[in-house]
Amino acid sequence: MDWALPNITDYWDQRVHAIERLSRELKGMPPESWAAQSSLIRAAVGRRIGALSDQDLMKAASVMADDLYKAAGQISYWDDALEQYLSASSGAFLAAVSARGYVVNYVIDNSFDDLAGPVRWFPRWFTTADLFYICPQHLACWTMKDEDLSETEWRAMMPSYIERARELADAMVARCRVEARHFVFLATDSNDASFSAAMRTQGLPGVIRIFRRETPSADSKCVVTFPATSRMIG
């Protein structure tokens, strides 16, 4: 299989559950071939990227990041095939975005009834996809030094840790800006102050800023701001 798809966004299109479906295709192949298949995925993504203008690449980056978030909320398992597919496809794409002088900043203001996604699942998902994951609630729970705490215990202890966690999150945003790292910033408490550092990246050279306030349903919308110039020009 050469993994050639008609459009670059087809590799992550959540409308057709692309990440789940294509990772299952990889899983159906002999495990000893997965490394070679991952290389083919990267090469196929690279060929599609090579035909894109900078404007089309930026648009694709905003769609890809949002599809990753939508998929993260729906896929309920983790295995080596999913990890390899996500790493190969997203990693190749974001490396090309960086090479063109652009960086993805995806900022999310969503609330959750259950913190298991933001605290346990999303960090692994987005890190594998080559997006630095920043979430004050995740940092607060990490600071508690015990991931085995129950949801009730997490929520009860959160007020004692969240302010320090927000400071750490802002520092991580600043570091990502300096290092031109792609990041996802998620805050679950609907406090506008939580987003001040992450939102200040808008308008900087090369920054593709995506802001999601709606829940990630199929027909929901994000606000996307594209930069006037790449980092190389700006």
Q: Is residue 154 part of a domain?
A: yes
pLDDT in tens, the chain (234 residues): 889 999 999 999 999 999 999 999 999 999 999 999 999 999 999 999 999 999 999 999 999 999 999 999 999 899 999 999 999 999 999 999 999 999 999 999 999 888 889 988 999 999 999 999 999 989 988 777 655 666 676 667 777 778 888 899 999 999 999 999 999 999 988 776 777 788 888 778 999 999 999 999 888 999 999 999 998 775
pLDDT of residue 148: 63
Query: Which domain range does residue 211 map to?
Result: 8-225
Please state the three-class secondary structure of 1-52 as a single string.
Answer: CCCCCCCHHHHCCHHHCHHHHHHHHHHCCCHHHHHHHHHHHHHHHHHHHHCC
Question: Considering the domain boundaries, does residue 2 fall inside one?
Answer: no
User: Is residue 231 a part of any domain in this protein?
Assistant: no
Q: How many domains does the chain have?
A: 1
Count the Cβ atoms, other than its own, within 10 Å of residue 215: 11
- Partners of 108 in the beta sheet? 186, 212
Within-domain flag for 182: yes
With respect to residue 1, please indicate whether it lies within any of the assigned structural domains: no
CA-to-CA distance for 175 and 153, rounded, in angstroms?
Answer: 31
43 inside domain? yes
- The pLDDT value recorded for residue 145 is 61
Residue 115 placed within a domain: yes
Instruction: State how beta strands 103-109 and 223-225 pair.
Output: unpaired
Residue 118 lies in a domain: yes
Q: What is the DSSP letter of 203?
A: T
Q: What pairing do the DSSP bridges indicate for beta strands 103-109 and 183-187?
A: parallel
- What distances in angstroms separate CA 9 from CA 86, 140, 179, 187, one per listed residue? 13, 34, 26, 26
- Looking at the DSSP bridge assignments, the partners of residue 234 are none
